[in-house]
Copies of this chain bind each other. A is one copy, B any other.
Amino acid sequence: MQGKKENIDETDRKILNILLKDANTSYVDIAKRIHVSPGTVHVRMKRLVRIGLVKKAFLNVDYNKLGYDICAFLGIHLENSSFYSQVIDALYHIPEVVNAHYTTGNYSIFVRIICRDTEHLREVLHEKIQEIDGVQRTETFISLEESIHRTISLESREEV
């Protein structure tokens, strides 16, 4: 288990809240907004990266404008849960799969894929995902619109 809580103080939390909204905010800007020096922002961030709390940033692009018109969710039923790691491994080799979650509930694996068009989606579903050993059946939900896309805001709590 690698994900245990870390000691984060109010300054760290303020810095993260600004960067969670826009990861391109400069340290100088952040420093001004929370009334510390740019050097302090720098050392705080360096520590947060070192302890693995902050990983790299992702660019948010308009996939439609890149010719990727379809975003779909797949619920994947496994024949039994022992297939989990080998199915994840197979999914990892399919570039259209951008997220995969091991979940409770009706499905065992929940996946998000990005495809160019319906033909591309059909190909990924039938020729790639349903061919994976251990996959029993899948249910597909096509996203017609992503209405909300954001990150959480950290509450200012007295202790973390």
Complex Cα gap A159–B145 (Å):
26
Q: Do residues B152 and A64 form an inter-chain contact, with CB atoms below 8 A?
A: no
9 CB contacts below 8 A, A to B, read: A4-B64, A6-B66, A19-B59, A22-B56, A23-B24, A54-B59, A98-B150, A101-B143, A114-B152
A158 interface residue per 8 A CB criterion: no
A71 interface residue per 8 A CB criterion: yes
Which chain B residues border A96 with CB–CB below 8 Å? 152
Which chain B residues border A140 with CB–CB below 8 Å? 105
A52 interface residue per 8 A CB criterion: yes
Q: Do residues B65 and A5 form an inter-chain contact, with CB atoms below 8 A?
A: yes
New A-B pairs, 8, CB < 8 Å, besides A5-B64, A73-B110, A103-B144: A3-B62, A23-B56, A57-B59, A88-B147, A95-B153, A100-B146, A105-B139, A105-B142
A43 interface residue per 8 A CB criterion: no
A60 interface residue per 8 A CB criterion: yes
Oligomer: number of copies: 2
Complex Cα gap A58–B63 (Å):
15
Q: Do residues B55 and A151 form an inter-chain contact, with CB atoms below 8 A?
A: no
Name which residue of chain B comes closest to A22, CB basis: B56
Complex Cα gap A142–B92 (Å):
21
